[in-house]
Each structure stands twice: as structure tokens, then as C-alpha cells.
Amino acid sequence: MISAIKMDFYRMFHTKSFYIIWIVLAAAVWFSTAMSREDYKMMQQERTAQTSQVQQSEPVNLGMSVTLPTKAGEQVTLLDQVYANMQGKFITLFLVIFAVMFSTADIKSGYVKNIGGQIRRRWYLILSKSMVLIIYTAVTMIFYLLIQAVFQRIYFGSLILGPADDFWMYFGIQCLLNAAMVLICMAAAIIIRSNVFSMTLAVCMCMNVLIILYSGIDKIMSRMGMEDFWMLSHTVTGKIALLPMNPGSHDSGMAALTALAFGAVSVIAACMVFQKRDIR
């Protein structure tokens, strides 16, 4: 098991896509921050209630958008920027793309055939991937936070964290939710064995396309008497989008429970399928 983890760490740090995604992420955060600055300037000039109010009366829609929650006259904080990017699943997109590519790289190359027979239990390989991807998520989130802080200082002329307790609680829960999202995409890639389909599914989840499916489930549950049921609020992507900037104990607890449940189920499902499936 330890050898498998060391091997996956080596693979991760020697994969070109690891560094390419970080470079693209840095460029995307630069562009996002620059555009946020322009939007903030326009909002300051107009100072109308319609343009300044960006609270989420309709927080989730099809597609992907990065919108600052800052009102006209207020100073943009680092928490505002992090919230905007996390709520729109902008950072999540980069995480899941790497998760799919990394999870199937050794399978597609045939390298897994060489090591499959040398490990007592093949599902150790899935646990190893899971641990490495969780660490990748944490490292990437820290990397994002650092470059976001740099561009925040450059474009807005100041670096204000925002309420410290709210900031670290929000960022920590988002790290947990994004890690669960990465594990879901890893499991999908291993079970489906198709990079194209798995990547498409991952992107669709980040782009909120599955809301169409969730709406159908909501209607079915409503007909069964559960009128207050909202499928989106019980999913990882829904928790990522709906988590408030100042999460209380209930919001944080439910989000953490959702992340742990989906993450655990994803890893168990991938382990079971990989253990029983023939290695090609």
C-alpha cells in the first residue's frame, strides 16, 4: 500500500498535465480577477440597486459564471473573490479535469498490468489514487489561494481577508467538498473506463447541466408528497454552489457530511469494481 502511494505521488509530480493545469489555472484566475475589477468599476459608476445587488436569489443556473457578491461602495475582500470562484465551480473544473486524466493514465497506458499482480489486493491501487488526489486537491486549493491573493493585491490595490472566522470556515468546507467532487470523478473514470465520457460528465456537473435531471427528480418527489424536496441541495455540486459566505454550524455540518458520504461511496464503488474487473 505504501509503495503504491509512493508510486502515485511520483506519477503525479512527473505528469505534464499537473503543471499545465496549474499554469492554465493561474492564467484563468488572472483573467477572472481582471474582469471582476472591470465589473466592480462599472458597478461603482452606476450605483444602482439592480447592478449592485448580486445576492443569490437564483444562485445556480446553467453554465458557469463568476460574480462578485460585493455591493457598490464596499471594498472587495479576498473572501469575496474566493466565494465568487467557488460558487461558480470555476476552480472545481480544473480539479476534476486532472482527476479524470490521472485516474486512468496507468490503465490506458497498460502500466497497471505490470503492477496489478504484485499487489496483494488490487483495490489498494484505488485507495492510493484517492489519497493522492485528496492531497492534490488540498495543494491546488492552497496554490489557488496564493495566486488569488497576489492578483487581488495587483488589481484592487489592497489585500483584505474579510472576516477571518468566516473565511477559513468557508475555505475549509470548500476544500472538503471539492475533494469529494474529485473522488466522484475518479470513480466515474475508473468505472466507465472512458476518458471522453468521464470528462464530459465532470464538465457537465461543473456547468450545472445536471440541474435538468435534478428538476425531474424534484417533480417526481413532489408528486409523491415531498413538495419541499430539492435534489440539488443534497448533492456535492449543490453544496459547493449554495454554501453561504458565513456558514454556520448547520450549513458547515451538512456540507461536510455530504462531502464525506459521497466521497466514501465513490471510493468504495471504485474499489469494488476494480477488484472484480479483469485488468486489460
Q: Tell me the pLDDT tens digit for each residue of 106-141.
A: 666 655 655 655 666 777 788 889 999 999 999 999
Task: Say how many C-beta atoms besides its own lie within 10 A of residue 48's C-beta.
Answer: 10
pLDDT tens-digit series, residues 152-165: 999 888 888 888 99
> Which pLDDT score is estimated for 25?
94
Higher-confidence residue of 99 and 45: namely 99
Which amino acid, residue 38? Answer: E
* Location of C-alpha cell 477572472: 32
Average pLDDT, integer, range 73-83: 86
- pLDDT at 16 exceeding the cut of 50: yes
- pLDDT at 52 exceeding the cut of 50: no
Side-chain-facing half-sphere of 34: CA atoms under 13 Å = 6
Average pLDDT, integer, range 222-243: 84
3-state secondary structure of 158: coil
- pLDDT at 171 exceeding the cut of 90: yes
- pLDDT at 63 exceeding the cut of 60: no
32-41, 67-76, 162-171, range with the lowest pLDDT: 67-76
pLDDT tens-digit series, residues 185-221: 999 998 988 888 888 888 888 887 777 787 888 788 8
Give me the chain's average pLDDT, please.
83
Q: How far is CA 254 from the centre of its chain?
A: 17
**pTM of the full structure:** 0.85
Higher-confidence residue of 237 and 105: namely 237
Please say whether the dihedral angle defined by the alpha carbons of residues 90, 95, 101 and 104, taken in this order, is positive or negative: negative
Closest CA to 98 of 164, 210, 29, 183: 183
Side-chain-facing half-sphere of 185: CA atoms under 13 Å = 35
> Which pLDDT score is estimated for 114?
56
- pLDDT at 224 exceeding the cut of 90: no
pLDDT tens-digit series, residues 238-260: 899 889 998 989 999 999 999 99
Q: How far is CA 81 from the centre of its chain?
A: 16
> Which pLDDT score is estimated for 210?
76
